[in-house]
Structure 1
Amino acid sequence: MNRLGIFVDAGYLFAQGSQALTGDVVRRQLLSLNEQAVITQLIGTAEHLSGGTPLLRIYWYDAIGTSGPTLEQKRLASSNNVKVRMGTLNGSGQQKGVDSMIVIDMIELARNHAIADAVLISGDEDVRVGVQFAQNYGVRVHLIGIANEHDKNHQSPSLIQEADTHTEWTPDIINSFLSVRQAQVRPRVIPAVDPAAKPAVNEAVVSEEEATKILEALIDAMVSGLVPSDLLALKEHLKHSSSLPREFDGKILGVSRDAIKRDLEQPEKKFARKKFIELVKKK
């Protein structure tokens, strides 16, 4: 069948993409992906590399944490022409099982003559065997890397040699769909201090009244700092759900806990979540 398959190792894309943009590998939780922008970029690049071969679908290989799929992963899985394959994360936060899924899918699709061209975004030596088998079935394999002046060895040399063509995405291309979430402001309420007074035993403990003031300012800063893709995703999510996605809920509680220097009480958690949802809906 004269079709094109696109195979994306999300771990490689996020790690090398963030390093290309910032000079360092940024934690996944601090990255925001514009799903529709990356899909458009993938299809456009793949059509160019393959000479216009019609798309079969995009295979997106990612890892799922113990708390389940993220909002971003759910949105990708619901996007047209995208099939999300989920591996797992080990205790060190590394993907497990992703490379083997890429290899199996490439071989099976090639063996069944479902694709004539394969576009692969990966840097791992372990997927080279999938490239070899696909080529044996007549598939042309086009490898995409990410131009990275901070890491010259971001792709396996033998994988590059095995591919039929090799190209690299520049930081400008990466920036069109990937961004680093802004660092959040952590406002603090600093009470007036009498220099002659002795320090109170529990002066570091923030009162409920002070905590409310801190949380209100903090949540406002967090919502104002949302990148556009996160804001759009949250607004869409809140049309169908009254609760926050886990990755945002965890960040709100974690940052709030750091700001008031103690664990939040249940009413404070409820206030922080409610305030966040209200402000997102108003944006």
Structure 2
Amino acid sequence: MPVPRARQIVLAAAERRRLKQLAYSHTAPYQQVIRVRIVLDAAHGYSNAKISRRRKVSIDTIRLWRGRYADEGMKGLADRPRSGRPPKFTPIQVAEIKALACQLPAETGVPLSRWSCLDLAREVIARGIAPAISASTVRRILAADALKPWQHQSWIFVRDPDFAAKASRVLDLYARIWDGHPLSDDEYVISADEKTSIQARCRCHPTLPPAKSRMMRVNHDYKRGGALAYLAAYDVHQAHVMGRCSPRTGIVPFTELVDQVMTQEPFRALLTTMTEEQDPAIRDEPKGPNAP
């Protein structure tokens, strides 16, 4: 019988560069590196026997990957899909495990606030769903459906019966609407709030910036400066924040925040105009450097 000729491999410049990068990669899987080197040797014109001696693999392996690359390119160097090990748990068991994870522990009589994979594995065995199962197996089953019972998200019930009416007024202001009428250019929306109990700490030694072969260094020791409150006013439509720190909260710090806001433009000019409109005597007072 005639001996089958080796498949000819002809590489474009871009293909050759890509294969060479993989052939000398220190992070690519070893099997992929060997397959790429086989293809490069074949493109160089080496026979299967010579490639076998160079790479210390059998000739059948050389024929396999040489032929796959000739037919499919880079996709041919990947492993074929395999059936893998037969599943250990039936679809019914998997569904029951997922259903158990979707129940609150209190509903099943378990004294827990929420499930962990280990707790679920124990409960699965206790209920006879499966004779044995590990926490890692439970984690893989739940990950297949993006179920993570160990995570939770807080939320609250709306208890105010007038919530819709109050919320609509706030949302209208964000949309520059008040009582059904759009706001004018000299009308502004400011939202104010406070953040309490912020720990004021300072490092005992200065932080060193990153340098050559060294990341930034932060000293572990620090001194406590007490707790502060941060009060801030947000100009909604100008995206501008005005804030200040205070040792405590209350009407006095809030009044100081209001004064800080109203002494800045454009609020200062607006406040002056409003004051003059309310008190004509102020409007008629002489203004200038020589005014008494």
TM-score past 0.5 threshold: no
Greater relative CO (CA pairs within 8 A, separation 6+): 1
TM-score interval, normalised by the smaller of the two chains: under 0.3
- Between Structure 1 and Structure 2, whose CA radius of gyration is higher? 2
TM-score scaled by length of structure 2: 0.19
